[in-house]
Structure 1
Amino acid sequence: MSATTSQLTLEEFLKLPETKPASEYINGEIIQKPMPKGKHSRLQLSLCNSINEVAESQKIAYAFPELRCSFGTRSIVPDVAVFKWSRIPFDADGEPFNDFLLSPDWTIEILSPEQSSNRVIGNILYCLQHGCQLGWLIDPEDRSIVIFRPGQQPELLQGSDRLLVLEEIDLQLKVDRVFGWLKMAG
């Protein structure tokens, strides 16, 4: 993850061309996220598919991978940003806006080995301070998931622990099932 100290405002940052992997604007710094690798990509896609499978057709919520969310003084790109259907900004044609200028309802981050866990937790906490209802920090290395909720202590979940999801979403997930998605061969 590389950081560039910047004198740019959030508005100026948003006018810059997108980078690959994405860059985030945090506390006046431009920080490039690490390139997702195999385990990260597999978990990200499986989470989006699982959430959307139960929430999209009923217009309850939608999970977006790598969606830029700009609000307050930050522009971040959660690995998965889940929005309740009623909060998704749609244009006149019923298509989602390109620019999401609000916090997700549920933010999910998958920790990469080269990422600072404190910086990622900082983004989750920032989302919670701006209306987000739920945050997950997934650590593929130790097979744990930390759950964050506004005004509550974080919870470390492992093994057969049941995961908390947004109340409206009928999705039953346990930690070991999420990490079971990594097994693709044999």
Structure 2
Amino acid sequence: MTTVVLNLENVDLSDEQFYRLCQVNRDWQFERTAKGEIVIMSPVGGVSGNREASLITDVNLWNRQTQLGIVFSSSTIFRLPNGGDRSPDVAWVRLERWSALTEEEQEKFPPICPDFAIELRSRTDAIQPLREKMQEYLNSGLQLGWLINPQDRQVEIYRRDRTVEIVQFPVSLSGEDVLPGFVLNWPLA
């Protein structure tokens, strides 16, 4: 299955209605763009699933040592300030920002943009929608993001108030001042 985008122009779907739509259709993975389009995500294959698990593991191991924030998987939908509801493949939020949310906000789709996010392009993903998604994160407050693109053997690095930097594989990525001391070597061993 490929990704499907439903145009809901002139259909106002509240945050609560979108949340309920996701809850009653748990076998489907939805996102909602800032334009209000519903994106039905296709499941990933074994290679992409393994890469994603490795990325989450690396970020989580760093976070366990530093205890600076909270790590999230691709199953987590974030309600972004610009109106989108998005699920990065890997996300991290600073502990003080996460703790400022109410228990109900933490339990549902957190109304917060991750400080750090990774999008991993799978074999069936078109690159342009992923770039638009990364820009949506930046517009919502993302501090650092990596779009890992194995097909083109490159990583696009997204930072606040800077142009996108593109680096070729192999690469050693720094968490910079967002994830201090975190380094990811790609491709993974």
Counterpart-to-counterpart distance in 1, 2:92 and 2:39: 22
Aligned residues: 175
Matched residue type, 2:112: L
Given that 1:55 and 1:62 are in contact with CA atoms closer than 8 Å, whether structure 2 keeps it comes out as yes
1:69 aligns with 2:82: no
Unpaired runs of at least 5, structure 2 = none
Given that 2:174 and 2:181 are in contact with CA atoms closer than 8 Å, whether structure 1 keeps it comes out as no
1:9 aligns with 2:20: no
Counterpart-to-counterpart distance in 1, 2:121 and 2:28: 15
Deviation at 1:105? 0.5
Given that 2:72 and 2:92 are in contact with CA atoms closer than 8 Å, whether structure 1 keeps it comes out as yes
Q: What is the match of residue 33 of structure 1?
A: 41
Deviation at 1:100? 1.0
Which digits, 9 at most, give the CA deviation of each residue in 1:146-179, with x for residues without a partner? Answer: 101111111112234321315243222233xxx2
Give the 3-state SS of the residue equivalent to 1:78 in structure 2. coil
Q: What is the match of residue 172 of structure 1?
A: 183
Which digits, 9 at most, give the CA deviation of each residue in 1:47-82, with x for residues without a partner? Answer: 111111121243212321111001221111111111
Q: Determine which of 31, 36, 42 is the counterpart of 1:24.
A: 31
Matched residue type, 1:70: R
Larger RCO (alpha carbons 8 Å, 6+ apart): 1
* Identity, % of aligned positions: 22
Counterpart-to-counterpart distance in 1, 2:25 and 2:87: 11
Which digits, 9 at most, give the CA deviation of each residue in 1:96-132, with x for residues without a partner? Answer: 5343111000111111232221111111111111111
Matched residue type, 2:181: D
Q: What is the match of residue 184 of structure 1?
A: none
In structure 2, relative to structure 1, the CA distance for the partners of 1:21 and 1:163 (3 Å cut) is farther
Counterpart-to-counterpart distance in 2, 1:61 and 1:153: 26
Matched residue type, 1:151: D
Deviation at 1:40? 1.4
Give the 3-state SS of the residue equivalent to 1:114 in structure 2. coil
Q: Which has the higher helix share?
A: 2
Give the 3-state SS of the residue equivalent to 1:100 in structure 2. coil
Deviation at 1:10? 4.0
Matched residue type, 2:154: S
TM-score normalised to structure 2 length: 0.82
TM-score normalised to structure 1 length: 0.83
Given that 2:175 and 2:182 are in contact with CA atoms closer than 8 Å, whether structure 1 keeps it comes out as yes
Unpaired runs of at least 5, structure 1 = 182-186
Deviation at 1:91? 6.0
The alignment's C-alpha RMSD in Å is 2.0
Q: Determine which of 139, 151, 154 is the counterpart of 1:144.
A: 154
